[in-house]
Amino acid sequence: MANHKEVLEGCTIEIRDDDHLTINGKEIRYEHNRSDGTWSSKYLPYTKYPSLLAMARAIVRDTVEFSHVKE
C-alpha cells in the first residue's frame, strides 16, 4: 500500500494505503468502480477519474469547498 501527500493550490491532499483520501484533513468519500477502473465523488458528480489522485486534484481545483478564488 502506498501513501501520498502533496500541497496543491494551498490544499493538502493525503492518500493513505492507496484508498483513504483526505483534503485539508477532511475525509473525502468516493466510489471506485473496479470494472472500468474509475474513481468518482459527490464533489464532482459529472466526471469519472482514472485515479484517486487525479480526482483529489480536481476536487481541490474545481469545488467551492476547497478552491478559494478571490474576486
Partner 1 sequence: MAIRKDANTLNATERAEFIAAIKALKAEGLYDQFVLRHANAVMNAIHRAPAFLPWHRRFIFDLEVELQRVSGNPNLGIPYWNWATGGANASMWNDDLLGGDGDAGGVVRTGPFRAGEWTVINSSGLPAGPLMRSFGQSGMPTLPTQAEVDQVLAVTPYDVSPWNTSSNPSFRNQLEGWMGPNLHNRGHVWVGGSMLPMTSPNDPVFFMNHCMVDKVWHDWQVRFPNQGYLPETGGAFGQNLNDPMDSTPSGRIGPRPIDVLNSAALGIVYDDATGQPQPQIPVIVIGANPTAADIGAPGEADLFQFDVSTFGSYTMFTSGPSDTFMTLLGPNDQTAQVASNDDGGENLNSQITRNLSAGTYFLRIRLFSPNTTGVYAVGVRAENSAPPPTIPELMVDGAGLNASISAANESDLYMFRITNRDTYTIQTSGTTDTFLTLHGPNSQIPEIARNDDGGVSFNALIRRQIDPGEYYARVRHFSQLGTGPYTIRVSRG
Contacts with partner 1, residue ranges (CB under 8 A)? 31, 33, 35-36, 42-48, 58, 62-65, 67-71
Q: List Cα–Cα distances, 61 to 9, 12, 26, 28, 71, in angstroms.
A: 7, 12, 16, 15, 16
| Residue keyed to cell 476547497 | 66
| Smallest separation (angstroms) from partner 1 to the CB of 2 | 25
| Smallest separation (angstroms) from partner 1 to the CB of 31 | 8
User: Which CB, 53 or 58, lies closer to partner 1?
Assistant: 58
User: Which CB, 1 or 69, lies closer to partner 1?
Assistant: 69
User: Which CB, 24 or 63, lies closer to partner 1?
Assistant: 63
Q: Which residues pair with 13 in a beta bridge?
A: 6, 23
C-alpha grid cell, residue 42: 459527490
